[in-house]
Amino acid sequence: MIDPYKIRKDFPMYVNKTKMQNHDLVFLDNASTTFKPYSVIKAVDQYLSFETSNSHRGDYDLCYHTDLKIEEARKTIGNFINADANEIVFTSGASMSLNMIAYGYGAKFLTKDDEILLTEAEHASNILPWFKVASITGAKIKYIPLNEEGRLTLENVEKSISSKTKIISIAQVTNVLGFTVDIKGICKIAHKNNIIVVCDGAQSVPHMKIDVKDLDVDFLAFSGHKMCGPTGIGCIYGKYDLLDKMDPLLSGGGMNAKFEMCGDVKYLNPPAKFEAGTLNIEGIYGLKAAVEYINNIGIENIHEYEQELRTYAISKFKQIPNILIYNEHADSGIITFNIKGIFAQDLATYLNSKGIALRSGQHCAKILVSFLKEVATCRASLYFYTTKEDIDYLVEVLKNGGDFLDAYFA
């Protein structure tokens, strides 16, 4: 069983007693980014302080060592999601990963009137690249309807598919409503119809066991900083035969075998052909350490703890007068809410004054605003170092808002 108070000793943001507005920091914005344990910071420092060299570009020991470390990291991260090492591409994060898939695969293989299926609940990073690809290729964007709760059902997926559907691109866990999507079921339906499935795993990979072979997903994108790793590092998982067919988004050193004056270029095999230029090497060191840290705790333990904490949080939230919970029955650590009559960003500013950090606004899911019939919402998001005490404090502040909140109900 997870002991969050013991775990907090591994995180300098807690050990250093970080404060905000003269209050102890209560951090409830883990869907945006996460704190980094000492082991991750140490791994980054190890590279910067003792092992600095470029990768795949030198005939000396430091460079050989860096090459080895990068490939060890690739294997560790692959094992974490049950992928082969050569199916892991290092990127700057989930946004870059989704762009690389959209442009490298979608723009290459889609043609006029082909269909790309998305949902209203997607993050901008899983919508805007497809808009651009559709404009380039003449393909069309269609949206799979959500049910009344905001869930994506297999029934609605099946109803939305036509003979022209070529790609389905969806989040495994949506970043506002926090519902977990049945990716395995969607892949079964899609593959019967020769459709490629792209999965935005930014909100799922840090929180639940992912087995890409069991899911049979074609592509998966995720970020390091949402799973205790550094910023500026993430990954694409892609089935090797699809990576082999896909074009690189970026060109440069380290991704080609040769090129000639006439313009002919021979790319290296995946994953190298997608890793142009110097990689974020310290980020790779840090992401490997983050995966090892999570493995140490156990991803199943993390998921179980978050489920328990969510149940507790919802029961407490229901005690708050005038609360609106938009995803009461979701199955992740994301809780999206408002207080009747108070603009979300005003509420978040008030909570900030009490030392509480959470997200407000549209959460980069601007199409979902119409579905929710709200211009903005507040989002509290939990992780394995979140405590019941954090939730109790948030609820207490929301219940006892004093003059600021009272003014709205006078």
Active site residues: 364
This prediction's pTM: 0.96
Which tokens is 359 given? 């997200």
Percent of the chain with pLDDT over 70: 98
pLDDT of residue 403 exceeding 70, the answer is no
pLDDT of residue 409 exceeding 80, the answer is no
The model's pLDDT over 102-120, given as tens digits with 9 standing for 90+, comes to 999 999 999 999 999 999 9
pLDDT of residue 76 exceeding 50, the answer is yes
> How far, in Å, CA of 196 to CA of 169, rounded?
8
Q: Are 141 and 116 in contact (CB under 8 A)?
A: yes
What pLDDT band is residue 404 in, cutting at 50, 70 and 90?
low
Fold classified for 4-30+298-406: Aspartate Aminotransferase, domain 1 (3.90.1150)
- Domains 4-30+298-406 and 41-296 fall in the same CATH topology: no
More confident residue, 405 or 63: 63
Name the H helices within 161-251: 183-192, 212-215, 240-245
Which tokens is 269 given? 């095999």
Name the average pLDDT for the chain: 96
What pLDDT band is residue 300 in, cutting at 50, 70 and 90?
very high
Which tokens is 133 given? 């690809």
The model's pLDDT over 161-182, given as tens digits with 9 standing for 90+, comes to 999 999 999 999 999 999 999 9
pLDDT of residue 410 exceeding 60, the answer is no
The model's pLDDT over 85-102, given as tens digits with 9 standing for 90+, comes to 999 999 999 999 999 999
CATH tag, 41-296: 3.40.640.10
Beta strands 165-171 and 334-339, pairing class: unpaired
Bridge partners (DSSP) of residue 118 are 143
Dmax (CA) for the chain in angstroms is 75
Bridge partners (DSSP) of residue 54 are none
Which tokens is 403 given? 């003059």
Domain boundaries, the chain: 4-30+298-406, 41-296
Q: What is the CA radius of gyration of the chain?
A: 22
The model's pLDDT over 30-71, given as tens digits with 9 standing for 90+, comes to 999 999 999 999 999 999 999 999 988 888 989 999 999 999
DSSP secondary structure letter of residue 302: H
Which tokens is 361 given? 């606004």
Residues 6+ apart with CB under 8 A from 328: 314
Q: Are 101 and 144 in contact (CB under 8 A)?
A: no
